[in-house]
């Protein structure tokens, strides 16, 4: 039964499994948007590698067991398509005031503005990250890494398509206007910035890229998980398939940082350096010292926490009540999925102290998602620490306290150390450079960013991966440079 929907039609201009050719008006609208998208990709996508043949995976179906095929592609020829996870017959709205009613196949009028806003915000992050990463090709530490970067980039492009499809199909003229705007905003642009703060930061080097894919793409995962629960079925199905692709992005981040850590520890052991704080000697080996890695973790973690928005928020309550945006792993949670009478404990910082306060669970949904995110980060941190421990070096990477260096939410005015100590503004200022990368750290990292572009070659600051992509051997030519 589900085979029909799993087939993706690649004969059409826009590959899809949504019977696009049956909806001529939509097909025309999307075909008009496609060349603008292509122009955006050529302008703002990976700089300098548009003619290279890249060994990429392309989605050819939505069957979890065999949804992608690998092959050499020039990125501008990538087949960006519209893929929805298979429809679940008889699906009902899983939470909120409409719990148990049939899932919506059309936009419910009363929630139109809210839905549009959520789709636009999600959509805006996708091209933003491509823009942030567009200069990285030039300093790739290997062809393997370069290929992974481009894979992430083309898939973020596809995620933009996923959101633009929803806008154009379900939101008429407003949707078409939003689709245009998504190609007009630019990451970091003073006049037309991307919507969310973290997506206007630079991703200037590969360590930042790996940290970004570990921390910030994981926020993407949490948002997609929540939207995948949506009572608006087309949004749910879009997000469910996007999550399949998203897993690779976090793999790139986790293993990228992990390989960096591994190389640092190996170099220290080879040189007989056991003190991780012997920074000068470690840097002289051409690897990134662990305290600097910790500072990068502190930055990317705290900037990403800000993406969850205010911990206590009526917008989040409204979206849940409406059945539009659920919680992380909603189906596994054992409560009434309506939360009218439930409470959730939120941490505040008041008068120099942390205090816990019970808030209505509905209002605290952003805070809860943020807490779920923090737990989700822990697994990767543990695996990084195992890499360090194996080499016998005495150092542990830690997630900073959630109140550390926040610019959004309840901790906005607090000065809190990574260990969770509440400080005065002066104390904070005196220690900031121990906790967040200094200009000197950044310059050192940049000095290591020399490309390594022979097949099987790796830059000195990063260990090779344990296995190749698609089972390819270590010297595989993942990118054929033009």
Number of residues that bind Fe ion (CB under 5 A): 6
Closest distance of CB 217 from Fe ion, Å: 4
Distances (CA, A) of 231 to 92, 193, 276, 369: 7, 31, 50, 18
Query: What is the helix (H) or strand (E) element at residue 57, kind and residue range?
Result: strand 53-59
Q: Which is nearer to Fe ion, 223 or 298 (CB)?
A: 223
Closest distance of CB 185 from Fe ion, Å: 16
Using the rule CB under 5 A, give the single segment among 65-73, 120-128, 257-265, 441-449 that binds Fe ion: 120-128
Please answer whether residues 427 and 438 qualify as being in contact, where contact means their C-beta atoms are separated by less than 8 angstroms. no
| Nearest-angstrom CA–CA distance, 458 and 456 | 7
Contact between 311 and Fe ion per CB under 5 A: no
Pairing of strands 353-360, 479-480: unpaired
Using the rule CB under 5 A, give the single segment among 2-10, 98-106, 141-149, 242-250 that binds Fe ion: 242-250
Q: Which is nearer to Fe ion, 127 or 418 (CB)?
A: 127
- Rounded to 10 deg, the angle between the 217-228 and 112-132 helix axes is 160
Closest distance of CB 46 from Fe ion, Å: 15
Closest distance of CB 62 from Fe ion, Å: 16
Cα-atom radius of gyration of the chain, to the nearest Å?
23
Pick the binder of Fe ion from 159, 169, 218, 368 (CB under 5 A): 159
Closest distance of CB 462 from Fe ion, Å: 21
DSSP 358-390: EEETTTTHHHHHHHHHHHHHHHHHHHHHHHHHH
Q: Which residues, in sequence order, are CB contacts of 377 under 8 Å at separation 6+? A: 214, 215, 218, 301, 399
Using the rule CB under 5 A, give the single segment among 125-133, 282-290, 321-329, 335-343 that binds Fe ion: 125-133
Q: Which is nearer to Fe ion, 220 or 309 (CB)?
A: 220
Q: Which of 63, 460, 113 is nearest to 259 (CA)?
A: 460
Q: Which of 150, 170, 333, 318 is nearest to 238 (CA)?
A: 170
Closest distance of CB 347 from Fe ion, Å: 28
Q: Which is nearer to Fe ion, 147 or 406 (CB)?
A: 147
Closest distance of CB 25 from Fe ion, Å: 27
Pick the binder of Fe ion from 249, 259, 401, 402 (CB under 5 A): 249
Using the rule CB under 5 A, give the single segment among 209-217, 231-239, 382-390, 411-419 that binds Fe ion: 209-217
Pick the binder of Fe ion from 124, 217, 233, 306 (CB under 5 A): 217
Q: Which of 353, 349, 356, 366 is nearest to 413 (CA)?
A: 349
Site for Fe ion in 126-145 (CB under 5 A): 126
List residues binding Fe ion (CB under 5 A).
Answer: 126, 156, 159, 217, 220, 249
């Amino acid at each position: 039964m589900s085979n029909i929907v799993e087939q993706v039609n690649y004969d059409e201009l826009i590959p899809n499994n949504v019977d696009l050719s049956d909806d001529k008006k939509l097909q025309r609208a999307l075909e008009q948007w496609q060349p603008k998208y292509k122009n955006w990709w050529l302008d703002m996508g990976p700089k300098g590698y548009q003619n290279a043949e890249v060994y990429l995976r392309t989605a050819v179906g939505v069957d979890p067991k065999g949804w992608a095929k690998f092959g050499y592609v020039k990125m501008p020829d990538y087949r960006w398509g519209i893929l929805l996870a298979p429809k679940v017959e008889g699906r009902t709205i899983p939470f909120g005031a409409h719990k148990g009613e049939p899932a919506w196949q059309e936009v419910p009028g009363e929630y139109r503005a809210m839905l549009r806003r959520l789709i636009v915000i999600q959509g805006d992050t996708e091209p933003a990250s491509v823009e942030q990463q567009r200069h990285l090709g030039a300093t790739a530490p290997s062809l393997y890494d370069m290929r992974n970067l481009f894979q992430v980039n083309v898939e973020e492009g596809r995620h933009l398509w996923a959101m633009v499809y929803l806008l154009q199909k379900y939101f008429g003229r407003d949707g078409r206007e939003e689709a245009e705007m998504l190609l007009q905003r630019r990451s970091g642009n003073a006049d037309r910035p991307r919507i969310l703060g973290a997506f206007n930061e630079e991703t200037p080097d590969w360590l930042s890229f790996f940290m970004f894919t570990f921390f910030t793409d994981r926020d993407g995962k949490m948002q997609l998980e929540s939207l995948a629960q949506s009572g608006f079925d087309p949004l749910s199905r879009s997000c469910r398939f996007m999550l399949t692709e998203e897993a690779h992005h976090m793999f790139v981040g986790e293993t990228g940082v992990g390989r960096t850590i591994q190389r640092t520890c190996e170099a220290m052991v080879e040189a007989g350096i056991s003190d991780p704080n012997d920074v000068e000697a470690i840097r002289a080996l051409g690897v990134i010292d662990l305290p600097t890695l910790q500072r990068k973790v502190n930055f990317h973690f705290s900037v990403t926490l800000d993406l969850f928005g205010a911990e206590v928020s009526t917008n989040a309550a409204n979206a849940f009540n409406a059945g539009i945006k659920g919680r992380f792993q909603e189906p596994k949670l054992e409560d009434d999925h309506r939360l009218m009478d439930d409470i959730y404990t939120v941490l505040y910082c008041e008068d120099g102290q942390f205090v816990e306060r019970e808030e209505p669970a509905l209002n605290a949904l952003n805070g809860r998602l943020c807490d779920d995110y923090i737990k989700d980060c822990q697994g990767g941190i543990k695996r990084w620490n195992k890499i360090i421990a194996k080499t016998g070096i005495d150092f542990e990477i830690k997630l900073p306290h959630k109140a550390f260096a926040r610019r959004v939410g309840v901790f906005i005015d607090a000065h809190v150390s990574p260990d969770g100590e509440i400080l005065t503004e002066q104390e904070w200022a005196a220690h900031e450079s121990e906790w967040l990368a200094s200009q000197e750290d950044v310059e050192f990292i940049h000095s290591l960013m020399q490309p390594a572009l022979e097949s099987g070659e790796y830059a000195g600051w990063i260990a090779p991966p344990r296995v190749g992509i698609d089972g390819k051997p270590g010297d595989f030519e993942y990118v054929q440079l033009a």
